[in-house]
Structure 1
Amino acid sequence: MKARLMNQRSGIRQLVAAQEKAQAGRLVAASICAMIVSAAAVVLLGISAWFLTSSAIAGLAGSVVAMTFNYMVPSAMIRMLAILRTGGRYGERVIGHDAALHALAKLRPQLFDNITRADPAISLGLSSGETSTRLLQDVDAIQDRFVRLSAPWGAGAALLAGIILCAFASPVTALTVAAIGGVYILVAITLAKFATDKPGRDTRIAAGAFKHELTTLMAAAPELRAYGMTQQARDQILASANLYETAQRRLSIGSGWQSLCQTLAMAIAVVAVFVTAASQPAALIALALLGSIAVLDAAGTLIGTLSHKGSIDAAMERLEPLVAAPKDNTDAPVQPRIDIYGQYVLDTRGRLGIGGPSGSGKTTLVEQLMYLRPVVSGTIRLDGHDLGDVSPQQARALFSYAPQQAQFITGTVAQNLRLAAPKSSDEELWAALEDACLAQRLRLSSQGLDMPLGENARYLSGGERRRLGLARAYLRNAPFLVLDEPTEGLDGATEARIIERLDTRLKRTGQGLILISHRPAPLKLCNEIGIVSGRDALGRVEIHVPAQAENRSQTRVV
């Protein structure tokens, strides 16, 4: 059990490690390019300093010395190093980002798939804003991690090149600059733990909270305006934005302390060069000066990479719950046989109607059946297996669902319908719309199936949205059709037509039916009725057979 929990905790890191392995070739190439760039940049800086100083001295010494000064070789070396730096930088950026984008192209679908496979307590516990923040901003932090994997190698090459340049002036100078660089790195790492790690984590968390607050209140904007709550909503968003801004400010202050530390280290290194190389020619002193600056600049690059650790670690921790722990079974299909509470046994062509007072738990019951809520073991069986031992994918494969409040993507009618059956033809879409009594409404539109719906089908009325959700459920070829209040809010004539066509459709397709309704007309389609009377102290649903349907009336606890 302990080992399993450890595997869960490291799930996201395992996914990232797998992508690092898959992109190993690109990452190695990017690191080599980073080393070439850094070494070339440092040597270019040093040679340029030496060349300019030597040229100036030669010029001041007179025309004879200036004419004998060999400027061709240093000029050629400077040109070559400039080309290497430019080409290496291009290669590092292109290859590094290519590796990161390839990794993200694999990671995001994996994480999205894991959300669908996760325990409902996890997947349904995240708001849309929080989920999008994790799949976008937090995954982008992992992209930043991939891009920065080459940075330590580049920094190492620059450190080595800078120390070698300092050694041309004096071995003591090189050792002194190396010691200053080492002390700076230790101090900067210690400072990062206090100045940037926690602010980086706080910024990541505050960004998610801010986006959650913003998306939640924007979704309720019409109601907020109607009830005069706009100012209160604005204050909530402002408070969340202030927390985010405060975290960002603290992170910026921490980065400022890091920059100050690097500047002080550079100043100390410059003074050390003058002290330890004072007896050397001016050109070599200039070489060592810029070499020491290059050493501290490279160390700063390394520290800059480490300073993002807090933000990246926070992103990893926030993504960890999205990595679902696999069950100990396979996703092999289960047979369409449902045993509910030991008294309702359904196979295909069976029809169960569920009634009961509002809020008693009817929707909870069917959503548990489809793993849209945390399941209760020992109450429902699928194909002889306890529901708790069946994976969400196995359970959901048995059902096509039309909820009370269907959700729609911003797109056309056809795009929304094909969420249930991507390969459906236009003829099949129209047939489903006919059975849902919505085809005539769409045929009056010049765009037909291509009619845009707006955000969450805002261009349709409440009744039309309900019928569109019903049509979408009809399209999925699943053994059972689950309908939650399919005719609520519809007029009597439309309800009668939908019930008639639903009965015909069920006879044609051979699907079973589980139907929730307050209204008596839809329940007449069912040959068995269960009444949900409420939930017990543990939140479990209580259901019983109506006394008029059976001589006994025994409560079953789910």
Structure 2
Amino acid sequence: MSRSDSPGVARLKALTRAQEKAQRPRLLAASVTAALVSAGAVLLLGLSGWFITAAALAGAAGPAVAHVFNYMVPSAMIRFFAIVRTASRYGERVTGHDAALKALAALRPQLFIGLARAPTTKALSLAGGEASARLVQDVDAIQDRFVRLSTPWGAGAGLIAGVGMAALAGWAPALVVAGAAALGVILAVVIGRRFAEPAGQRLQQASGALKTEFAALAAAAPELQAYGMKAWAADRLAEHGDAVEDAAERLARAGGLIMASQSLAMAVGVTGAALAAGAGAPALTALSMLAAVATVESAGTLLNALRQNGAVKAAVQRLGELLDEEAPASPISAVSPTLRLPSADLTVAPPQRLAIAGPSGAGKTTLIERLMSLRPASPGEILHGEVDAAALDAETLRPLFAYAPQQAVLLTGSVRENLRLAAPSAADDDLWAALEDAALADRVRAAPGGLDASVGENGARLSGGERRRLGLARAYLRPAPWLVLDEPTEGLDAATEAQVLERLAARLHHSGQGLIVVSHRPAPLALCDVALTVSGIAADGRIQISAKPRQAAA
């Protein structure tokens, strides 16, 4: 681990090393087969060159020499090495990719868990497209790294086989072949670090930015259409596309330079091997020359890895940023559902009902997000029983709350799948009961498929009020002491609002849950027996609040 690595990068490297250890048998098999591929390819090319040259010389020497020339053994060896190379290539691809896919199958969930356990501000700072680009594109770059772990073995086996073949023509050609291979690697490393790595990093970052921008503009497609901003959006995407194209072009040029350096090394090796062989047997001279070609070529996969190093480094850095911070662990595993807000001299506990009101932008939603640890609370601002919320982590606090946010996010799936986010093991009867209480059951029954009806991307097949009520039904399914609702009836007509609130009151009476509701509408607030007014956020970040009792509706 580099001393300059951030904590997140260090954690990611530790996770990667753990997966390398877990996949060691498959990676070892991939490395052995990669070595067989390179050795087989070098021996095949060298033996073929020797055989063709020797056979031609035997034929030119006359029928007597041609008659006694042994072509059976070299032919059999050529076929053998061809089979070894082909079978080993198949084995390398299967075992290498199997190891990479299994490693990533374990790595992706760990990355997601790491992000989920980080402070909420970390997750909130990532746009959807950015998070997707990191967890898909950047993890794919890590996959390429796993696949390429066998390349040093292949390059080493190719070098040994090539030098060994050249040694048949003498030690001088063998040394020339080894020197040519070393020259090719050195040139490729220099070019890779100077040109390929920066271009690869730039390409990885530019591709991520393009995906993030595309996701954001795609989400705003109706607004862009309505305001005639399609050309503006296309120009923004074109700018990001140009950045990707420029980075890809730089990486391609760097790849071309690496290939040119290998051609140079190959030319040096072939010429040097021919001169070093001197007046030796022509067939052995040809063998040493082809050994130089094959040995330099055997490092091709290793040199290709140099082109990808920049992308891998950028991916590691970007993924490491997701893991840079981890929420502090709570010293206790459970806390009291009793809420205390010292600045308002307020204490509430289930089954009490708390109304939160105030002007737009005053901080009402921020307050409930701090209550639930979706945002960090200031020390002493919120207490759970006698415990300061600022000292507790999200995993400790969130089981206390079932939450229906102002803008509920829906999965691209069925009604059932969206509801079971709150209660994965809920029976269909429970799902229908929650939909009844949210005044949405009739709409779902009428839809083709019922609970299995698709809601579309983020609920696109539902109206705004239906999406809100589906989010409300989902919150009903979570067994928590507090039910937190942010503008639960916004966008509903008066009759539907009355129906929803009537069923909500009955559900609360039956379940014994406490209620925390944020609303600008008087009807939801009328359910509550305590009112909390939010007047703004102070310069020190604390929310300014005041409380008073009120008469709840029957």
Query: If the length of structure 1 is used for normalisation, what is the TM-score?
Result: 0.95
> Does 20-29 or 449-458 show the bigger shift?
449-458
> Does 62-71 or 216-225 show the bigger shift?
62-71
Task: Kindly state the Cα deviation for residue 446 of structure 1 after the two structures are TM-superposed.
Answer: 4.2
In the alignment, is the contact (CA less than 8 A) between 1:163 and 1:178 conserved in 2?
A: yes
**1:169 alignment partner, SS class:** coil
* Amino acid across the alignment from 2:172: V
> Does 125-134 or 115-124 show the bigger shift?
115-124
Match of 2:495 in 1: 493
Give distance in 2, aligned partners of 1:204 and 1:446. Answer: 43
Task: Kindly state the Cα deviation for residue 334 of structure 1 after the two structures are TM-superposed.
Answer: 2.8
In the alignment, is the contact (CA less than 8 A) between 1:36 and 1:84 conserved in 2?
A: yes
* Amino acid across the alignment from 2:381: T
Q: What are the within-5 Å matches in structure 2 for residues 168-187 of structure 1?
A: 168-187=168-187
Q: 2:519 aligns with which of 517, 540, 544?
A: 517
Task: Kindly state the Cα deviation for residue 549 of structure 1 after the two structures are TM-superposed.
Answer: 6.0
In the alignment, is the contact (CA less than 8 A) between 2:486 and 2:517 conserved in 1?
A: yes
Give distance in 1, aligned partners of 2:336 and 2:27. Answer: 47
* Amino acid across the alignment from 1:164: G
Give distance in 2, aligned partners of 1:391 and 1:108. Answer: 23
Q: Pick closer, same or farther for the CA change 1:108–1:354 going to 2, 3 Å.
A: same
Match of 2:477 in 1: 475
Give distance in 2, aligned partners of 1:4 and 1:331. Answer: 34
**Runs of 4+ residues over 3 Å off in structure 1:** 3-9, 328-331
Match of 2:423 in 1: 421
Give distance in 2, aligned partners of 1:439 and 1:532. Answer: 35
Show CA shifts across 1:288-346 (max 9, x none): 11100112112333222233211101000000122252524468233323222352323
Show CA shifts across 1:468-506 (max 9, x none): 111111011111110001111212222222112111111
Give distance in 1, aligned partners of 2:98 and 2:28. Answer: 12
Task: Kindly state the Cα deviation for residue 8 of structure 1 after the two structures are TM-superposed.
Answer: 3.7
Q: Pick closer, same or farther for the CA change 1:5–1:382 going to 2, 3 Å.
A: farther
**1:496 alignment partner, SS class:** helix
Unaligned ranges ≥5, structure 1: 551-558
Show CA shifts across 1:92-139 (max 9, x none): 111111110110000111111222211122111111111111111100
Give distance in 2, aligned partners of 1:105 and 1:331. Answer: 32
In the alignment, is the contact (CA less than 8 A) between 1:122 and 1:321 conserved in 2?
A: no
Unaligned ranges ≥5, structure 2: none
> Does 371-380 or 155-164 show the bigger shift?
371-380
Q: Pick closer, same or farther for the CA change 1:287–1:259 going to 2, 3 Å.
A: same
In the alignment, is the contact (CA less than 8 A) between 2:519 and 2:525 conserved in 1?
A: yes
In the alignment, is the contact (CA less than 8 A) between 2:58 and 2:66 conserved in 1?
A: yes
> Does 295-304 or 82-91 show the bigger shift?
295-304
Identity %: 50
Task: Kindly state the Cα deviation for residue 226 of structure 1 after the two structures are TM-superposed.
Answer: 0.5
Q: Pick closer, same or farther for the CA change 1:7–1:239 going to 2, 3 Å.
A: closer
Give distance in 2, aligned partners of 1:382 and 1:158. Answer: 66
**2:531 alignment partner, SS class:** strand
Q: What are the within-5 Å matches in structure 2 for residues 99-114 of structure 1?
A: 99-114=99-114
Task: Kindly state the Cα deviation for residue 46 of structure 1 after the two structures are TM-superposed.
Answer: 0.8
* Amino acid across the alignment from 1:396: R
Match of 1:409 in 2: 411
Alignment: residue pair count:
547
Give distance in 1, aligned partners of 2:303 and 2:465. Answer: 60
In the alignment, is the contact (CA less than 8 A) between 2:434 and 2:474 conserved in 1?
A: yes
Match of 2:193 in 1: 193
Match of 1:145 in 2: 145
Match of 1:282 in 2: 282
Give distance in 1, aligned partners of 2:94 and 2:168. Answer: 35
Give distance in 1, aligned partners of 2:331 and 2:71. Answer: 73
Give distance in 2, aligned partners of 1:231 and 1:313. Answer: 35
**2:362 alignment partner, SS class:** coil
Show CA shifts across 1:140-178 (max 9, x none): 011100000000111111011111111111211111221
Give distance in 2, aligned partners of 1:200 and 1:382. Answer: 49
Give distance in 1, aligned partners of 2:540 and 2:214. Answer: 34
Q: Pick closer, same or farther for the CA change 1:414–1:516 going to 2, 3 Å.
A: same
Q: Pick closer, same or farther for the CA change 1:4–1:189 going to 2, 3 Å.
A: closer
Match of 1:25 in 2: 25
Match of 2:251 in 1: 251
* Amino acid across the alignment from 1:217: L
Give distance in 1, aligned partners of 2:252 and 2:456. Answer: 40
**2:51 alignment partner, SS class:** helix
Match of 1:130 in 2: 130
In the alignment, does 2:163 pair up with 1:163? yes
Give distance in 2, aligned partners of 1:305 and 1:86. Answer: 22
* Amino acid across the alignment from 2:492: L
Q: What are the within-5 Å matches in structure 2 for residues 70-85 of structure 1?
A: 70-85=70-85
Give distance in 2, aligned partners of 1:85 and 1:460. Answer: 58
Show CA shifts across 1:406-436 (max 9, x none): 1111112112111111111111111111111
* Amino acid across the alignment from 1:269: G
Query: If the length of structure 2 is used for normalisation, what is the TM-score?
Result: 0.95
Give distance in 2, aligned partners of 1:545 and 1:322. Answer: 39
Give distance in 1, aligned partners of 2:397 and 2:128. Answer: 24
Match of 1:341 in 2: 342
Match of 2:543 in 1: 541
Give distance in 2, aligned partners of 1:384 and 1:162. Answer: 75
In the alignment, is the contact (CA less than 8 A) between 1:35 and 1:154 conserved in 2?
A: yes
* Amino acid across the alignment from 1:532: V
**2:508 alignment partner, SS class:** helix
Q: 1:385 aligns with which of 384, 387, 398?
A: 387
In the alignment, is the contact (CA less than 8 A) between 1:331 and 1:393 conserved in 2?
A: no
**2:409 alignment partner, SS class:** coil
Q: Pick closer, same or farther for the CA change 1:12–1:331 going to 2, 3 Å.
A: farther
Give distance in 1, aligned partners of 2:204 and 2:380. Answer: 41
Give distance in 2, aligned partners of 1:245 and 1:322. Answer: 27
Task: Kindly state the Cα deviation for residue 73 of structure 1 after the two structures are TM-superposed.
Answer: 1.5
Task: Kindly state the Cα deviation for residue 513 of structure 1 after the two structures are TM-superposed.
Answer: 1.1
**1:545 alignment partner, SS class:** strand
Match of 2:121 in 1: 121
Give distance in 1, aligned partners of 2:296 and 2:516. Answer: 70
